[in-house]
Structure 1
Amino acid sequence: MKLGVFAVLFSQKPLEEALDYIAAKGLEAVELGTGGYPGNAHCDPDTLLADAGKLKAFKHAVESRGLMISALSCHANPLHPQKAISSADDAIIRKTIELANRLEVPVVNTFSGCPGDHEDAKYPNWPVAPWPNDFQEILAWQWEKKVIPYWSEIGGIAEQNGVKIGLELHGGFSVHTPATLLRLREAAGKAIGANLDPSHMWWQGIDPVEAIKILGRENAIHHFHAKDTSIDYNNVNKHGVTDMQSYTLMMDRAWQFRSVGFGHDLKTWADIISTLRLVGYDYVVSIEHEDGLMSVEEGFSKAVQNLQQVLIKEPVGDMWWV
């Protein structure tokens, strides 16, 4: 495995300065934002697709520092019921797939998106209860008319470009659990897989180790984010895991994102890394920082230090003791 980082943490730095900083920390990979929620401070598809010289220079800037690009990320909502939003998000996903092909990057990360509840809706509708039956009708319409058709088309485009799609299992979007990911994968093809982030499993009450086993059996993990979550069970009892309070209200929230090792101990992270190896994932572990108690530099540095203790880097040897 290789240790990497979702480089949008350093969007305020010029590309080459950010790459120097990342390489100096001993990392081997970068995940770059191309638009949508992460922005495109370091990697603008329009610029790079239009100019072969700039594309070559961009690739050299990464590779000359001993780094690789693990994924291009354009997290967005291509199923948003407002066409102005969904059209823009769809366009960036398609451009990012094309750019990934040109850069020989194997994975594009994004969200599945979430539709509205009918054709004239203005806002996404995320059903989370099976009753009253209205919710089941909304869910069926979303998947049959929006989710499966869209991702079947995008999955086909990704396959044609030699690219895999890593959908982040994130609350608020149609694909947010191992089951919903596998449902879509079965319908839309094996180019569709997970960008698995344990932080989103923990707050939903899902054990990331078991999620890795479930998805790993289907070879459905295309990329991996390293981010932690702490749970305040007193606040869970008050607000539930679907706590809608602002992330800034850290004393009152049921859960919050933390840097690796500050929500769960390193034994838990060692189990996660070992299970990734067990199911055959031998790609990049990409650090994501969204810790409200630490600066970007400190949260990132501590995540690096903690993960370096548990990351399994060398190939598996023969079982000499057997």
Structure 2
Amino acid sequence: MKLGVFSVLFQQLPLAQALDYIADKGLDAVELGTGGYPGNHHCNPAELLADAGKLREFKKMFDSRGLAISALSCHGNPLHPQSHIAQSFHDDFVRTLDLANMLEAPVVVGFSGCPGDSDDAKYPNWPVAPWPNEYGELLTWQWENKVIPYWIRTGEYAKRQGAKIALEMHGGFSVHSPATLLKLRSHVGEVIGANLDPSHMWWQGIDPVQAVRLLGKEQALHYFHAKDTCFDTNNVNQHGVTDMQAYTQLLDRAWNFRSVGFGHDLKTWSDIIAALRLVGYDYVISIEHEDGLMSVDEGFTKAVENLKQIMIKEPASEMWWA
């Protein structure tokens, strides 16, 4: 396994300075935001695709520091019911797939998106209960008419570009759990897999170790984000896990994102790393920093220090004792 970082947390820095900082921390890989919600501060696909010279210089910035580009990330909602919004997210994602081909980045990370409740809707609608029955009917309509057709088309394009799509299982989107990921994969094919972020599993009540095993058995684990979640029991009892308070309301929220090791102990994280090894995942552990209690530097540094203690980097030895 290799240790990397999703570089959007350093978007306030010029790319060269951010890469120097990342390399100095001893990391192996960088995941780059290319549009959608994360923006494209360090990597603008339209510019790089239009200028071969810029593209060569861009590659050199990573090669000269011994850093790999582990993934391109374009999180958006290409199924948004307002067509101009959906089109913008879709265009960003397609350009990202094109750039992934040019950079030989094997994975493109994103969201599945979430449609509205009809062709005339203005806003996404995320059904979370099977009853009253119209919610179940809505969910069926969304998948049959929007989710599956879109990703069949986009999956075919990704295959032609030689990239795997790692959908981040995230609340608010049609694919948000191992079951919904595998459902979409059964229709689209192996080009679709998961970006597994334990923080989003925990707040939904899903054990990340079991999520790794479920997805790994299906060879459906394409990428991994390292981010933690902590819970406040009193606030959970008041608001439930679908807490709609702003992330800035740290004291009152049921749960908050934390740096690795500050929501769950390193034994828990060791179990996750072991499960990844067990199912054959031998790619990048990409740190994502969204800890409201720590600065970027401190939160990132502590995540690096904690993960370095538990990462499994070398191939397993022969079982001389068996």
TM-score using structure 1 length: 1.00
Amino acid in structure 1 at the alignment position of 2:215: L
**What's the secondary structure of 1:108's corresponding residue?**
strand
Amino acid in structure 1 at the alignment position of 2:220: A
Alignment of 1:68-217 (within 5 A): 68-217=68-217
For 1:61, the equivalent position in structure 2 comes to 61
Shift of 1:232: 1.1
Instruction: Name the count of aligned residue pairs.
Output: 322
Shift of 1:297: 0.4
**What's the secondary structure of 2:75's corresponding residue?**
coil
Alignment of 1:252-271 (within 5 A): 252-271=252-271
**What's the secondary structure of 1:99's corresponding residue?**
helix
Shift of 1:233: 1.5
Shift of 1:298: 0.3
Amino acid in structure 1 at the alignment position of 2:212: I
For 1:35, the equivalent position in structure 2 comes to 35
Post-superposition CA distance 1:272-303 (Å, at most 9, x none) = 00000000000000000000000000000000
> How many angstroms apart in 2 are the aligned matches of 1:208 and 1:299?
21
Amino acid in structure 2 at the alignment position of 1:173: F
For 1:248, the equivalent position in structure 2 comes to 248
For 2:315, the equivalent position in structure 1 comes to 315
5+ unaligned residues in a row in structure 1: which ranges? none
Identical columns (%): 71
Amino acid in structure 1 at the alignment position of 2:123: Y
For 1:231, the equivalent position in structure 2 comes to 231
TM-score using structure 2 length: 1.00
Post-superposition CA distance 1:131-173 (Å, at most 9, x none) = 0001011100100000000001111111111100000000000
**What's the secondary structure of 2:165's corresponding residue?**
strand
Shift of 1:41: 0.5
Alignment of 1:10-29 (within 5 A): 10-29=10-29
**What's the secondary structure of 2:72's corresponding residue?**
strand
Amino acid in structure 2 at the alignment position of 1:43: C
Post-superposition CA distance 1:7-57 (Å, at most 9, x none) = 000001011100000000000000000011101010000000000111111
For 2:218, the equivalent position in structure 1 comes to 218
Post-superposition CA distance 1:88-137 (Å, at most 9, x none) = 00001110001000100000000000000000100000000000001011
> How many angstroms apart in 2 are the aligned matches of 1:233 and 1:240?
9
Amino acid in structure 1 at the alignment position of 2:113: G
For 1:6, the equivalent position in structure 2 comes to 6
Shift of 1:251: 1.0
**What's the secondary structure of 2:35's corresponding residue?**
coil
> How many angstroms apart in 1 are the aligned matches of 2:154 and 2:214?
24
Shift of 1:224: 0.2
> How many angstroms apart in 2 are the aligned matches of 1:222 and 1:69?
15
> How many angstroms apart in 1 are the aligned matches of 2:244 and 2:254?
9
> How many angstroms apart in 2 are the aligned matches of 1:315 and 1:7?
27
> How many angstroms apart in 2 are the aligned matches of 1:63 and 1:223?
22
Give structure 1 regions of 4+ aligned residues with deviation exceeding 3 angstroms: none
Amino acid in structure 2 at the alignment position of 1:244: M
Shift of 1:317: 1.6
- Is the aligned partner of 1:276 residue 2:279? no
Give the root-mean-square deviation of aligned CA atoms. 0.5
Shift of 1:231: 1.0
> How many angstroms apart in 1 are the aligned matches of 2:94 and 2:161?
10
> How many angstroms apart in 2 are the aligned matches of 1:167 and 1:233?
30
Amino acid in structure 2 at the alignment position of 1:302: K
Amino acid in structure 1 at the alignment position of 2:96: T
